[in-house]
Chains A and B, each alone.
Chain A
Amino acid sequence: MVEYHSIQQRGFHNTYDEAGNINGFEFRFVPIYYKGYWFTQCRFGNVVVDGEVFDRDGLIFEYDGLEYSREELFDLNRYWQFREPLIIKARKPGGLSIGYHEVALQFGWVMNYNGGPELEADGSGLGNTIFPTDHKRRMLLCR
Chain B
Amino acid sequence: MEKGHPQRGISVYSYEVLLGKTMTLEDCFLEMYDTGATCFELLTSYIENYPNPTTKWVDNYWRLCEKYNLRPAELGHWCENHLHRGPALSDDEIVEQLKQDFRLANLLGFRSLRTKITCVNDLCDPEPGWQRYIEKALPWAEKYDVRMQNEVHGPTTLHTPHIRDEYLDFIRRTGTQHFGFNIDFGTFQTKAAKGLEWMDMGFDDPTLPEEIVEFLPYSWTCHAKFTNMTEDFEETTIPYREVIKQIVDHGWNGNLISEYEGPIRFTAESSPESFGRAMDEIPEQIRRHQIMMRNLLGY
User: Which A residues lie at the B interface, using CB under 8 A?
Assistant: 1-6, 32, 34-36, 38, 40-41, 74, 79, 81-83, 110, 112-118, 121-123
A51 to chain B, nearest CB (A): 23
Instruction: Please indicate the chain B residues that have their CB under 8 angstroms from the CB of A117 in the complex.
Output: 82, 120, 127
Which 10 residue pairs spanning A and B have beta carbons closest together? Answer: A83-B20, A112-B80, A35-B45, A34-B16, A36-B45, A112-B118, A113-B119, A123-B85, A82-B45, A4-B275
B133 at the interface (CB under 8 A from A): no
Identify 7 residue pairs between A and B in the complex whose beta-carbon atoms are under 8 Å apart, listed by A's number. Answer: A32-B269, A83-B19, A83-B20, A110-B82, A112-B78, A116-B121, A122-B85
Given contacts A1-B21, A115-B121, contact A110 B116 (CB under 8 A): no
Contact A35 B83, beta carbon cutoff 8 Å: no
Given the complex of chains A and B, what is the CA–CA distance between A95 and B232 in angstroms? 56
B139 touches A (CB below 8 Å): no
Main secondary structure of the interface of B (DSSP, over half): loop
Whether the pair B83, A121 counts as a contact (CB closer than 8 A) is no
- Kindly state the separation between the CA atoms of A83 and B46 in the bound complex, as whole angstroms: 9
User: Do A2 and B80 contact each other (CB < 8 Å), given the known contacts A113-B116, A122-B85?
Assistant: no
Nearest neighbor of B121 in chain A, beta-carbon distance: A116
Given contacts A34-B45, A110-B82, 9 further A-B contacts (CB under 8 A): A34-B13, A34-B43, A40-B83, A74-B85, A81-B48, A112-B78, A112-B116, A122-B85, A122-B86
A137 to chain B, nearest CB (A): 10
Q: Known: A1-B22, A113-B119. Is A79-B85 also a contact (CB below 8 A)?
A: no
Is B177 located at the chain interface by the 8 A CB criterion? no
A30 to B264, CA, bound (A): 19
Complex: A115 Cα to B124 Cα, angstroms: 8
Closest-CB distance, B54 to chain A (whole angstroms): 12
Number of interface residues, chain B, beta carbon within 8 A: 37
CA distance A2 to B19 in the complex (A): 10
Q: Could you tell me if B83 and A38 are in contact, using CB atoms closer than 8 angstroms?
A: yes
Whether B50 lies near A79 (C-beta < 8 A) is yes
Q: Could you tell me the distance in whole angstroms from the C-beta of A3 to the nearest C-beta in chain B?
A: 7
Contacts of A34 in B (CB 8 A): 13, 16, 43, 45, 265
Find out whether the CB atom of A121 lies under 8 angstroms from the CB atom of B116.
no
Q: Does B59 lie at the interface of the complex (its beta carbon under 8 Å from any beta carbon of A)?
A: no
CB-CB under 8 A from B20, the residues of chain A are 1-2, 82-83
Contact with A along B117-150 (1 / 0, CB 8 A): 1111110100100000000000000000000000
* B48 lies within 8 A of A2 (CB): no
Residues on the B chain within 8 Å of A112, using CB:
78, 80-83, 116, 118-119
Chain B residues within 8 Å of A1, by CB: 20-22, 24
Structural contact, A121 and B13, CB atoms closer than 8 A: no
Given contacts A74-B84, A122-B86, contact A79 B22 (CB under 8 A): no
Q: Contacts A32-B269, A35-B45, A114-B122 hold; do A2 and B21 have CB atoms under 8 A apart?
A: yes
Of the candidates B24, B43, B268, which one forms a contact with A35 in the assembled complex, judged by CB atoms under 8 Å apart?
B43
Interchain CA distance A25-B127 in the complex, whole Å: 43
CB atoms of A115 and B122 under 8 A apart:
yes
CA distance A46 to B179 in the complex (A): 43
Q: 0/1 per residue, B187-229, Cβ < 8 Å to A?
A: 0000000000000000000000000000000000000000000
